[in-house]
Amino acid sequence: MTTEPISPAPADRHGPAAATVLVGALLVLVGIGWLLDAGGVEVPWRAVLPAALIAVGLACVAGAFRGRQHAMMVVGVVLTVVLSVAAAADWDLEVPLAGGVGDRTERPATPAQLTKYQLGVGNFLLDLQQLQVPPGTTAVQARVGIGELVVQVPEGVSVRVVASSGLGEVQALGKQESGVANRVDTTAEAGGERRLELDLRVGIGQVRVER
C-alpha cells in the first residue's frame, strides 16, 4: 500500500487588505503633517482631511466589486465625524499640535509675563488672580488641543470672555454650552478702567473660566 505524499498548502498569494493599506497610508500622512507642524511649517489640515475622506470613498467604491468593505466604512465614518466637528466649528479652532503634552500651570504676575499660551494635549491652568492688571484692556490668549483649559480671573477687574470648544463643554462666568462647536461670549463688569479680554479655545475638551 502506497501513500501519496501530501502536497503543501498553496501559499497565500493575497496581498494585504485594502483597508489595512489605506489606514497605514493615512497614518503616515497625518504623521508627516504633524511633524511638519511641529517644525513650524504651516499644514493645510482643512485640505488634508477632505482629501483623505475622498480617498476612503474611492477605495470603498472600488472594493465594492470584490465584496463588503466593513473596515473601510469604519475609517470613512471616523473621518466624517472629524470633518463634521471641524466644519461645525468653522475650521477656526487653531488647535495646537506642537504645544507639548501633560499638565501645565502658569501664574503671570505682570502683563510683561503674558504670552500666547498653547498646550497640545493635557490640562492647562492659567491663574491670573495675582496679575497686576493696568488701566485699559489687557488681552490674554490660550489654546489647548485636547484636554482642559481653566482660567482663574482676579476680583475687581472687568472681564470679557470669548471661549469655544470644538467638541466638549464651555463654562464661563455662569454661562455654559456643551456639545459640538460650543461658543460662549460673555462680559462681567466690575467698574473701573481695568479690563481683561480672554480669547480661549479647546479642540476637544473643556474650557472653564472662574473668578
Q: Give φ, ψ of 154 to 5 degrees.
A: -80, 160
Q: Contact 171/128 with Cβ under 8 angstroms?
A: no
Q: For residue 111, what pLDDT is reported?
A: 93
Structure-block grid coordinates of residue 138: 489687557
For the stretch 87-135, pLDDT in tens is 544 444 455 555 678 899 999 999 999 999 988 888 999 999 999 999 9
Cα first-last separation, the chain? 94
| pLDDT for 148 beyond 80 | yes
Averaged confidence pLDDT in the chain: 76
Interatomic CA distance for residues 48 and 41, integer angstroms? 14
Q: For residue 191, what pLDDT is reported?
A: 81
Torsion sign (Cα): 127, 157, 182, 88: negative
Structure-block grid coordinates of residue 203: 479642540
Which H or E run contains 79?
helix 70-88
169-181 mean pLDDT: 87
Structure-block grid coordinates of residue 176: 455654559
Amino acid identity of residue 207, one-letter, is V
Which pLDDT band, with edges at 50, 70 and 90, does 210 fall under? very high
Q: For residue 136, what pLDDT is reported?
A: 94
Q: Which residue has the higher pLDDT, 192 or 123?
A: 123
**What percentage of the chain reaches a pLDDT higher than 90?**
34
Interatomic CA distance for residues 107 and 154, integer angstroms? 12
Provide the pairing of β-strand 104-106 with 116-127: parallel
| pLDDT for 72 beyond 70 | no
